[in-house]
Amino acid sequence: MLRLGRREFGPHEPVIMAIVNRTPDSFYDQGATFRDEPALARVEQAVAEGAAIIDIGGVKAGPGEEVTAEEEARRTVGFVAEVRRRFPDVIISVDTWRAEVGEAVCEAGADLLNDAWGGVDPGLAEVAARYGAGLVCTHAGGVEPRTRPHRVTYDDVMADILDVTVGLAERAVALGVPRESVLIDPGHDFGKNTRHSLEATRRLDEMVATGWPVLVSLSNKDFVGETLDRPVKERLVGTLATTAVSAWLGAQVYRVHEVAETRQVLDMVASIAGHRPPAVARRGLA
């Protein structure tokens, strides 16, 4: 059972996490939800389309202008409070690696801390434990936040992913984070080249076999773009194909830009797997 905020999810229940970037320079939407009203409209749309989690980020993942912890908090804390007020039942996640920001957003009502940089600030897990919040434990290859990998190598990329993410998850539980609220993430593109991310996808069932719920953040990423030689705005088909494979292999949470399309893919895979009945079943029965 995965428990986040007020919600519980069974082992075969796929969960969509919608991305809402509070940044002026995000790689995909180029600041479309930097201002409050567009961002709140995005939350409303994502919830209507089937997102259970809203993931709020205040710092672009890639290199760019420095964003201090104070500025990151300014972009996220008030917005978290407003989303909590308007959408009391939605699960609020915040994409941050900083413990001080995690503290502020949990105080404002966040349910989940999405640590995409692999525990670079060990205090973040301690914050999650103090507030009873969930935690995403990600493999980032040991790179510094907001840096790109350069000639990174692994003897066995999945072995490294498992060692790091399971270790972070076990540490979080030992600190007091509720076990049912901890997820592991292979960290596609983070500290990896395209071949590493493809292998991580191909072997995702090895992460699922650990028993920890698996989150994947695939949406329009560079490994999709390089695999198909497509620019950022033309990566949806590749993203959805990767989503389908990940769903078949047992991933549970999907961090995405396109909620409605992802919902259809996840529902279709769940029905093929026998975990979800067809929405309509008339053919051959009339």
pLDDT number for residue 25: 81
Question: Which one from 74, 255, 263, 276 is the annotated catalytic residue?
Answer: 255
Is 221 an annotated catalytic residue? Answer: yes
pLDDT digits (tens, 9 = 90+) for 140-193: 999 999 999 999 999 999 999 999 999 999 999 999 999 999 999 999 999 999
User: What's the burial of 174, exposed, middle or buried (CB within 10 Å: 0-12/13-18/19+)?
Assistant: exposed
> Is the pLDDT at 31 greater than 90, yes or no?
no
Catalytic residue among 74, 221, 235, 276: 221
Length of the chain in terms of residues written: 286
Token code pair at residue 94: 């915040």
For residues 79 and 82, what is the distance between their CA atoms, to the nearest angstrom? 5
How far apart are alpha carbons 243 and 247 in whole angstroms?
6
101-150 pLDDT, tens digit each? 999 999 999 999 999 999 999 999 999 999 999 999 999 999 999 999 99
Is 255 a residue of the active site?
yes
- pLDDT tens digits for range 37-78: 999 999 999 999 999 999 999 999 999 989 999 999 999 999
